[in-house]
Amino acid sequence: MSILVNENTRLLVQGITGREGSFHALRCLEYGTNLVAGVTPGRGGTVWEEKVPVFNTVKQAVSETDANVALIFVPAAFAADAILESTDAGIPLIACITEGIPVMEMVRVAKYLKNNPTRLIGPNCPGLISPGSNCKIGIMPGNIHTPGRVGVISRSGTLTYEAVNQLTALGIGQSTCVGIGGDPIGGTSFVDLLQLFQDDPETDAVVLIGEIGGTKEQEAAEYIRAHVTKPVVGLVVGITAPAGRRMGHAGAIITGSAARADEKVKALREAGVHIAPSPADIGITMKQALG
């Protein structure tokens, strides 16, 4: 079983005719994802790759194709409005890959989503993938994933791939892998996904990868302590990061003691999480946790 996306997913790609959108939409299609529509204003009525109809608006696309997941490859200046357009069209799940969206624009989006059932993954994330359902929504390399019973949640796209590659090499398959992104204002959180994985009868354990900045990992630790009965392997990167300096992601800035990697590791360990000593030890730590 998987969470969020599966064989019933009907994908719509906003920005499908752009360079990045076109490249990654094709990779999703090749992986087996049911890609039913693209949206590019002014290109409505055309057909992408001789297979997928392109529409001027998300509302038109949903009306004609019953799309239920949106994948956004729209430039940063327009990405917030793209998220809101899919939300208003009734799309229940949105994955926004775009990085560099202004923080105040995401504040506006977050406020709007609070009163809406739409779930946002990202922005500035690799998306999500459910190997057993052959469903890939984003930019992750599909070939390293294999079906299985371990969920993966990560703030870092690159470390998501590293974790998956190690798990696969050890014969440990994945149920669903989700990159939540590293921006300070985002959609779905560690806690949201931990709840879904805890409730999924076909996910046996979870890998959680955090980084410096904010308190997302401490919130995850509190939830794990109170509600999660499945093994969780954790890694927090940025132990040696200097205070006040941005490290990769906009949200990866130490702005207080709680934002430090060592404080996050402490909270997770106290919640019973199996801490991977380094990024190279994620897979073996999970193997040990599974017994």
Q: Which residue has the tokens 């398959």?
A: 173
Buried b / exposed e along 118-148 (16+ C-beta atoms within 10 A): bbbbbbbbbbbbbbbbbbbbbbbebebbeeb
Sheet holding 147-154, edge to edge: 135-138, 127-130, 174-179, 147-154, 205-211, 232-237, 274-275
Residue 254: HSE in the Cβ half-sphere, 13 Å Cα cutoff: 17
> Per DSSP, what are the bridge partners of residue 95?
71, 121
Q: How far apart are CA 120 and CA 290, in angstroms?
A: 31
Instruction: Specify which residues 213 forms β-bridges with.
Output: none
Amino acid of residue 154: S
* The one catalytic residue among 24, 145, 249, 274: 249
Q: Is 227 a catalytic residue?
A: no
Q: Which residues are catalytic?
A: 249
